[in-house]
Amino acid sequence: MSFDLSEVMFITTANVLHAIPSPLLDRMEVITLSGYTEEEKVQIASRFLISKQLKENGLDPDSLQISENTIHKVIQEYTREAGVRDLERKIGTICRKSAKAVVEKKKRIIKVNKGNLHKFLGIPKYKQDEADKADKVGVATGLAWTQVGGEILAIEVATVKGKGGLILTGKLGDVMKESAQTGLTYIRSRASELGIDEDFNEKYDIHVHVPEGAIPKDGPSAGITIVTAIVSALSGKPISGDVAMTGEVTLRGRVLPIGGVKEKVLAAHRAGIKTIILPSLNEKDIEEIPTDVKKGLNFVFVDNMDEVLKVALLTSEEKKSRAS
């Protein structure tokens, strides 16, 4: 039997684009949907998921009490996703164990809070991202996009005696490695203006490391973070601990736009970051950020590395004032 599909619109979904064959992707119109914010997940759980799981597990609506603070903890420490599938599974687990307690102990109401959540879900699987607020030399905080949302990314740089070698560790992808090489060339071309010994490449090897080496990392958006960390290590100037950044860098020090701004900003907010450096061309993306999140953040939009370093690196006076 034949079917006329000429007027049919096919809609498909995917978590990542790189897994879609190029000839097929070329014939598609791609609509990108960002993941839910933490507060959105809390509201989805409170309004829909809990009642759904209560019904599926044979519990009365009033027999289980879960506070919003508890749901926050479930999201932060037991799930790692852009959507809410795993969150619903965790709520289902709580409901099943509650149903068992109702039957065995003849309790009419089960109260789940942050203190007893581990009895229902076990030991937390994840630790909430929290930025190291200390001002350090050679350590910069970047922002990364992943399939499950945004994350903060610490980039460490150390200099050792050598002959200009660049060592990259932390399971970095090719694009990220190229970004580091581009950044180093930019620094060499501007060494004098940056207050760095112009012959540093003949005296030192530079080691760039991104912790959590078992997790693959790639993309150009760590460019300005890598450059900032290297400049800090070579100049001895500390980097402000409450600043995070993201952006691609060119050989001439221009800062280019990146993707995943909403997810990255939310990650910075969760980690307690106060100032976020973004490419100027990403200023329009700030409209997607929830108002309550934007209120506690200072956004700095930049076009070049000079502007980045002016914000991120501490002057001698700033260093003294922070120490006092």
> What mean pLDDT do residues 99-116 have?
87
Q: Which of 265, 251, 257, 249 is nearest to 308 (CA)?
A: 249
pLDDT bracket for residue 62 (50, 70, 90) = confident
In the chain, the percentage of residues whose pLDDT exceeds 90 is 63
Q: Which of 214, 322, 289 is nearest to 38 (CA)?
A: 289
Secondary structure of 51-75 as H, E, C letters? HHHHHHCCCCCCCEEECHHHHHHHH
pLDDT in tens, 285-304: 999 888 888 888 999 999 99
> What mean pLDDT do residues 22-42 have?
87
Cβ count within 10 A of residue 13: 6
State how far the alpha carbon of 105 is from the alpha carbons of 33, 49, 97, 99, in Å: 45, 25, 12, 10
In sequence order, the 6+-apart residues with CB closer than 8 A to the CB of 76 are 38, 126, 128, 270
> What mean pLDDT do residues 226-245 have?
95
Prediction pTM value:
0.80
pLDDT in tens, 187-220: 999 999 999 999 998 999 999 999 875 567 788 9
Strand partners, 265: none
The three-state secondary structure class of 255 is strand
Catalytically annotated residues? 221, 264
Please give the residue that has the higher pLDDT: either 234 or 133: 234
In the chain, the percentage of residues whose pLDDT exceeds 70 is 94
> What mean pLDDT do residues 127-139 have?
80
Cα first-last separation, the chain = 82
Length, in residues, of the chain: 324
State the burial class of residue 162 (Cβ atoms within 10 Å of its Cβ: 0-12, 13-18, 19+).
middle
